[in-house]
Structure 1
Amino acid sequence: MALGRLSQALLKSSLTQSRRQLSATADQGHDASKLWKRLTYLVALPGVARFPWGDGSKSLFHNRELNALPGGYEGDE
């Protein structure tokens, strides 16, 4: 009987510990989703709406020597 009680106590403690870990993981996931939602609304959407990197033929990280434009590379004339 003592062995049965001991195994039940161990099983119960492991179950409550795993529940705590799962709830902590769920809380962290919720915090991460809030962070990405805020980044989307406060950084990504305003950046795309203003389109600060030119006339549309160049990207945000344009490099004259490596990135060709529709008419060819810049400086090749």
Structure 2
Amino acid sequence: MSQFWERYLRPSVSEVSRSLNLFGGKATGSLLWKRVTFLVATPIVALCMINAYSSIDAEKKPQQPFVQYEYMRRRNKRFPWGNGERSLFHNRNVNALSEGYEV
């Protein structure tokens, strides 16, 4: 293991530390994570937010017609809330009951 460390890992760690010093100054732990947060995490969060907002318009599709298949929407046991037909996170516009859509 020590030969592996000396031959492969130590040169790469020293190379990384030299490249971090190019950003300016000595890269301490808190400074490193501050840079990672602002230079890496913030753009990734912004791109994910743009993706989420752009996909909202793409989801506005017409509702597919309800087809009652015998193997779908089976209720072997009633749910313990409400009338027993709706799941806990039921959405009237998307989730169909065994008879069809509510809307």
TM-score by length of 2: 0.34
With normalisation by structure 1, the TM-score equals: 0.43
* Larger proportion of helix: 1
